[in-house]
A = this chain, B = another copy of it.
Amino acid sequence: MTNKDALKHYDVNQYRTPDGYTSDIAVFTITSEKTGVYKPPEMTLKLMLIKRSVKDAEDNPNIEAEKWALPGGFVETSETAFEAARRELEEETSVKDVHLKHFGVYDRPGRDPRGWIISNAHYAIVPEHDLTARKANDDAAEVKLFSLDELKTIALAFDHDTIIIDAIKMITSDLLQTTVAKAFLPKAFTYSELQAVLLTVTNDPAIASHQSFARKIKTLPFIQEVKGQTTSRTSKKPTQLYQFNDMEVVKPIYTARY
């Protein structure tokens, strides 16, 4: 291997290196307020944040104490930031198999008072009941779900305000332009459940009109009926269930109507 010779001469310390590499996660969930039995849910998109404690693990004063922050932590040498996000999310919420996606890197000099620390940011989608289960377990740390409106009113640590703005932009466009909505839904869902998820980020009349959407869902190539399967969880009348298939869609803005 010719790289061996080259490595003999390479000094890993000739450059100034970062002081840390962290993985942060914007954990989104949708809370379904059941307005009653036999009704479709009212859904709200929420973000999970953690309140930084006054003292750290060694009982020293903590950086950015008492501000709200995204969960996350340092990446180990043996893993990618993506794997770190998955690990930390499992430690935090004891949920595996969450939908996780990288959406940005935050490396502005001075963003972290501790030094040159690069944050690799992801968003995660976790079903609501997985989060509420976790909150019961760990009563020490302050964990809370914030609606997008509530987020504007609280003090955020580091540059997490910027990261959160980007995360919201990203999940909004992903919900509308990709099939991630499935991560918020059970495998088989009704048209009104999918509709409720989409309405958390848009008010497009084609999606908001229930008759239009009930018709439209049957023509979408990436969604199919679950033949013969129905549920009564959203109405007294048994409702057809649907599921996503594996199709990927890229819909050009240059085609079809506006």
Contacts and interface: CB of A to CB of B under 8 A. Distances in A.
B255 A78 contact: no
A150 interface: no
Contacts of A120: 105, 107
Given A176-B254, A178-B253, A16 B77 contact: yes
Interface string A54-88: 00101011111100000000111111110000000
A3 B109 contact: no
A108 interface: yes
A9 B75 CA distance: 21
Interface in A171-222: 172-173, 176-179, 198, 202, 204, 206-207, 213, 216, 219-222
A213 B256 CA distance: 11
- Interface class of chain A by DSSP: loop
A7 B63 contact: yes
A40 to B, nearest CB: 17
Q: For this complex, into which size category does the number of interface residues on chain A fall?
A: 35 or more
Interface in A233-258: 249-258
A56 B56 CA distance: 45
Contacts of A251: 176-177, 251-253
Interface of A: 2-3, 5-7, 9-10, 12, 15-21, 56, 58, 60-65, 74-81, 102, 104-105, 107-109, 113-116, 118, 120, 172-173, 176-179, 198, 202, 204, 206-207, 213, 216, 219-222, 249-258
21 contacts: A2-B65, A3-B113, A5-B61, A6-B60, A6-B61, A6-B63, A7-B63, A9-B56, A10-B60, A10-B114, A15-B20, A17-B19, A17-B20, A21-B118, A173-B250, A176-B250, A177-B250, A202-B252, A204-B252, A220-B254, A257-B257
Given A12-B20, A12-B115, A206-B252, 8 more contacts: A6-B61, A6-B64, A7-B63, A17-B18, A81-B105, A173-B250, A213-B254, A257-B257
